[in-house]
Every structure is written in structure tokens, then in C-alpha cells.
Structure 1
Amino acid sequence: MRKLIESTFVSLDGIISDTHPSTSSRSDPHMWGNKYWDDQHNGYSAALAADADTLLMGRVTYEGMAEAWSSQSNEFADRVNAMPKYVASRTLTSATWNTTVIQGDVAEEVAKIKEQPGANIMKWGTGELDRTLVEHGLVDEFHFWYFPVIVGAGQHLFEGAGFDTTHLKLADLHRFDSGIVVHVYTPR
């Protein structure tokens, strides 16, 4: 069975994204995280992507990533652009960028994707889709990228989760000179 890997940027106060247009200028990870992205960050991202052959995203992440990545061309971008992608959405009816919109029960469909032959499935972004994946025990590995920044406003990691307590085991830890620390967790 393929492994589903969650990769998420998190501020020290647990912020993952903006929730209101009034705070988006400071709570969007691209606003507070960009200054920490360096060769170590890029190398770690590339290594995660190299072990995957499929991307999974929610609608919001998909729309941002498709806009940002589809026009780029370099070794990493070409790999990402060529990967098959799945997007979970109740509102999208069609998608571009080599993407399939998941129809029906998301947990059931993701479980079917995991059963298909292939390499790892990389899950980018955090939000409602993550709550579904965690609730149904579909995430095999979490990579939480903790950035040395306190944002002060925005959506918190697993905010309003609605699932039972989920215990994880620290499997690995990666420290970057920029101050980013990636905690790798697996289910217990």
C-alpha cells in the first residue's frame, strides 16, 4: 500500500493560514514563511517530492498551487507539474493541471488511491481535507514544518477538528539553519 504523507507549514503559535481577508497579509504562510525558504528548505521539499508520484490537495491549496506552479519550469517544478493530482472539493466540477476532482466520499476515494500501485502520495496544505484524512486514519506520516515566527492571527492547525484524540509518535526531526524545524510523526 502507498504511503500518504502530509506536509504542512506551521507557525510557532499554530497558525497554518489566513481565515479573514483582514489578516491574510500576515497569516498566509507565503507571507511569514518566505524569508526562511533557502537551500535546505528546498532540498527537503525536493526529497519529499522525489519519493512521491501523486499529489493530493483540497480546493484552496489546489487553486493557489495551480496558479503558482503551472507556469514554472525547472527540475522541481517540472516534476510537480507532471505528477497526477487529486483535489477534494464540493464546489469544483472540473480542474486543469493534470488534476482529477474527487467525486463522492473523500475518505473512501483516498483509500482507493492508496491501494493503487505507485510511490508515496504527497498531501499539501492543511484544512478541512486533513480533518477527514485524520478522522479515517489515512495519513501515514506527518511533516510539520515549524517556522520561527509568531503570527498572532489566522487558522490554527486542526482547528475545529471534531475527531477523537489522535496520538502520534515522533519518527524524525530535521533542523535547518534558518530556524525551521520539521517534526516527522507517524500514527501510534
Structure 2
Amino acid sequence: MRKIIESTFVTLDGAIAEPHKWSAPYWDAEHAAYAAKLLFAADALLLGRETYQNFAQVWPTRPSGDEYTDRINAMPKYVASTTLAQSDAIWNATILQGDTADAVRALKKQDGGDVLKFGTGSLSRTLLAHKLVDEYHLWVFPVVAGAGTRLFDGQPDVAHLRLLGTTTLASGIVIHRLAPR
């Protein structure tokens, strides 16, 4: 059975919006090594519509030859969307059909490696509500955004998680590994 691993960047004040504006000063070799470890342990990506569309505009245009770029571009992508049709799928993508929770449950039952999920939004809330994420890797950056979409905005119920471990990077990023209780 496959595991769903969510990797999300978040500020000290809980913001997740526009990480390109606040996270880049902290990217270094240690950051890259942890990100690569997650990516290379997975054999597919799970993305919500907005993350998928944003990534599909950028990643395929990056030059080939970098292992991380080549890996992310080659991996199959599963996209949760109520507005995209299969004909909108590019960049090795498959649009999940039907109920999202049911589609992700079926994806988890398939043979294969971990499925890495990037981005947060309604897909994250759905997965949290149905306890479909096996591990969260929340990268807490030592920065305050002051405003913006918050992690799990709109989550209707309390969701308790258990700490699996932490990794502290020299840049000040603390990565919390969590799982549903």
C-alpha cells in the first residue's frame, strides 16, 4: 500500500500563500537534500488544481540536466479537480475522477512507492478530514508573513496529529514530521 506524504512550506504565523516571496532566502544545500530525499522516495505526485496549474507553467520550462527537475518532470501526477477535464491534463497528469477521497483511497491501494503531495487548500482539508495523509512534512520557516492564506484555513473540525520527528536545518527551518492520530 502506498503512503501519501504531504510537504508544505509554512511561516511562523501559519501563512502558506506565495512561498516564493518568503522561502527562497532559506534554500541551501541542506534544504535541497531534504527535498530531494522526499522526491526520490516517491514515484508520483498528488496535486490540487491550482498547484498543478502553477507547477505545469514552470517546471516543464526548466532546463533538463538537473536531477530534481528531471525527476519532477518525469513523474506521473494525479490532480484533484472539480473543474479540469482529462483533456486539460498535460505534463504526465491524470485528473482524479469522482469523489476525491475515494480516488485517493484507490490510489493508495495501488502498487508503487510513496505519493508526494505539494500545495495546500481544499485538497489538504479533504485529505485531513478523511485521514488519507500518512505523513505531513511541515517546513516551518523562520519568517512572519503578516498576512495571507493560512495552513488549513477553513478546516471545520479539530484534527489531532502526532509528532513523528523533527529536523532542524542550519538556515532555521524546522521540519515537523506528523501523522494523523
Measured against aligned partners, the alpha-carbon deviations of 1:70-107 in whole angstroms (never above 9, x if no partner) come to 12221111111111101111111121000011121000
Superimposed CA distance per residue, residues 49-88 of structure 1 (whole angstroms, 9 cap, x where no aligned partner): 1110010000111111111211222111111111110111
Distance in 2 separating the partners of 1:7 and 1:79: 16
Q: Cα deviations across residues 104-150 of structure 1 (Å, max 9, x unaligned)?
A: 10000010000000000000001110000011110000000000000
Q: 1:156 — aligned with what?
A: 150
Question: Is residue 136 of structure 1 aligned with residue 126 of structure 2?
Answer: no
Tell me whether 1:92 sits opposite 2:84 in the alignment.
yes
C-alpha displacement of 1:168: 1.1
Runs of 4+ aligned structure 1 residues displaced above 6 Å come to none
What does 1:66-105 align with in structure 2 at a 5 Å threshold? Answer: 66-72=56-62, 73=64, 74-93=66-85, 94-105=88-99
Range with bigger deviation, 114-123 or 165-174: 165-174
Identify the residue that residue 145 of structure 1 maps to in structure 2: 139
Structure 2: any 5+ residue segments left out of the alignment? none
2:118 corresponds to: 124
Tell me the equivalent position of 2:165. Answer: 172
Amino acid at match of 1:117: D
Map 1:8-87 to 2 at 5 A: 8-17=8-17, 28-72=18-62, 73=64, 74-87=66-79
Structure 1: runs of 5 or more not aligned: 18-27
Letter in 2 for 1:124: F
Helix, strand or coil at the partner of 1:156? coil
Offset at 1:167? 1.3
CA distance in 2, matches of 1:153, 1:165: 23
- Write the distance in 2 (CA, Å) between the matches of 1:48 and 1:129: 20
Q: Which residue of 2 aligns with 1:6?
A: 6
Q: Which residue of 2 aligns with 1:182?
A: 175
Partner-residue secondary structure (3-state), 1:149: coil
TM-score (norm 2): 0.95
RMSD, aligned α-carbons: 0.8
Q: Give the Cα separation in 2 of the matches to 1:187 and 1:105.
A: 21
Distance between the aligned counterparts of 1:127 and 1:42, measured in 2? 24
